[in-house]
Chain A
Amino acid sequence: MAADTSTTASGGAAAPLIEIQGLTKRFAGFTAVDNVSFNVARGEVLGFLGPNGAGKSTTMRMLAGFMTPTAGTARICGHDVQTDSLAARRSMGFLPEGAPTYPEMTVLAFLRFTARIRGYSGSEMDDRVGHAIGLTTLGGVRLQPIETLSKGFKRRVGLAQALLHDPPVLVLDEPTDGLDPNQKHEVRTLIARMAPEKAIVISTHILEEVEAVCTRAIIIARGRVVADATPAELAGRDPAGGLDAVFRAITAQPARAA
């Protein structure tokens, strides 16, 4: 029942923990995600970049099993997110967009709730919750109702919930949004520290964050992958302007062509 960090159902240790093939999501009238394919291996931190509405959150929601793909498949630790959804969800920690939490609950009660759902109880649950609170430095507010916390603390509660069961796969939708520079630095340090053991996908608007923590960057625009390289390679395409200029050049192109 508890999250199993050694789950590698298909293949050996070298098999990618996240496998996405031809993932497509069509809504009435438009295609939000169009035939997206990529793998993420253990030790990789993938920065998922793109303008607003490019399909980042939709892709992450399909990975987390919240949205059903129109076509294509996604696997977490070898478990198909549609046909073996519960096993896939057990192997992953997910921070949804906006870090939603139950506002009337205290930080401790909320984390205990998610720990129980993840199959922990008794002293093991307390250890897990305590550890997650320590990692996200929430100790000082653990008995406060979440609605009384600042945006940065709320974000970290969402993060604590995703880390609690030490999952092999982390999918974090804008984990540093709303944090002050110190908190951003802490979260990046935390991600970098966990990186060797896990496959991590983070979406972000902040390009310096990609250069700081990501080993690889995928740029998505209008639902399609338009670049997949290391941050250094991407930045090297425009030595003068850096990653910022490259991002704007790549994501603006389809608009001009249309």
Chain B
Amino acid sequence: MRNTLIVARRELGGYFATPVAVVFIVIFLALQGALTFNLGNFFARDQADLMPFFNFVPWVFLLLVPAITMRLWAEERRLGTIELLLTLPIAQWQAVVGKFLAAWAFCAIALALTFPFVITVNYLGSPDNGVIAAGYLGALLVAGAFLSVGAALSAATKNQVIAFVLAVSVCFVFAVASYPVVTDFLSRNAPELAEVARRLSVAERFQSFTRGVIALRDLIFFASFIGFWLFLNTVIVEHRKAD
């Protein structure tokens, strides 16, 4: 655990030592703001909640999270520091989890900086802040799920563009798994898979958080989803580290 946190701390420092942090946070806030107020009709709805805000979070993360993860392992390979990191006396899973935690903490910081939305909605009306808190928890879990996918795919290829495109594609599949376009297709051709797809849908799980429902089965889903991809990440690093 100690080693994991040392790696995470170094990684997180790395984000803020480069323009990555500023660019990511500014673009994230600008996108969320524009989408919430324009497409989301935040004011015209005349309701004191953050539904329009949360509705766009998975889609903005779908685009931005792979931009963080694409460099996670590819950069270590390019610099050769992977050889340094993995010959220090730490287990590989500690490096994997440390990198993931740093990226997750970074997303948490970006999410926390959306606090003006919370202030605005509280100023204009009296929203249920419990529902808003549940929505933020859900958003953080969606970020974690996408990060774990992107990190594993970043370990699988040296090429950052490939890592980005693969991560967006795979995350997209998990985001839309519950949408009619997927479920209708599956129920016609493979009805037994339609239910599986719905259960694996990150977006559908997130929906219940935005309604203020924190269900144990959803928490278990996200924990096992992230755990599975981190395990895969460790296996990929083990097999491909010296390639």
Contacts and interface: CB of A to CB of B under 8 A. Distances in A.
A114 B18 CA distance: 20
A115 B3 CA distance: 11
A117 B13 contact: no
Contacts of B86: 65-66
Interface string B72-103: 00000001110110111111000000000000
Contacts of A128: none
Given A100-B80, A100-B81, A105 B13 contact: yes
B87 A96 contact: yes
B6 A113 contact: yes
Chain B: number of interface residues, binned into ranges: 20 to 34
Nearest to B17: A104
Interface stretch (A86-94, A194-202, A217-225): A86-94
Contacts of A86: 89-91
A19 B87 CA distance: 18
A106 to B, nearest CB: 9
Given A94-B87, A98-B80, A118-B88, 10 more contacts: A61-B242, A65-B86, A66-B87, A66-B242, A89-B89, A96-B80, A97-B80, A105-B17, A113-B6, A117-B6
Contacts of A67: 242
A117 B17 contact: no
A101 B84 contact: yes
Contacts of A61: 83, 242
Interface of A: 61, 64-68, 86, 89-90, 94, 96-98, 100-105, 109, 113-114, 116-119, 145, 158, 161
Given A66-B242, A86-B91, A102-B10, A96 B83 contact: yes
Nearest to B83: A96
A102 B79 contact: yes
Contacts of B79: 100, 102-103
A117 B3 contact: yes
Interface of B: 3, 6-7, 10, 13-14, 17-18, 79-81, 83-84, 86-91, 241-242
B81 A117 contact: no
Given A61-B242, A113-B6, A89 B84 contact: no
11 contacts: A64-B87, A86-B89, A96-B87, A97-B83, A102-B14, A103-B79, A105-B14, A113-B10, A118-B88, A118-B89, A161-B84
A86 to B, nearest CB: 5
Enumerate the 3 nearest inter-chain pairs by beta-carbon distance, A residue then B residue, closest first: A100-B80, A104-B17, A96-B83
B76 to A, nearest CB: 9
B87 A89 contact: yes
B14 to A, nearest CB: 6
Contacts of B18: 104
Nearest to A96: B83
A119 B241 CA distance: 24
A154 to B, nearest CB: 11
B242 A90 contact: no
A201 to B, nearest CB: 14
Given A66-B241, A105-B17, A89 B81 contact: no
A117 B14 contact: no
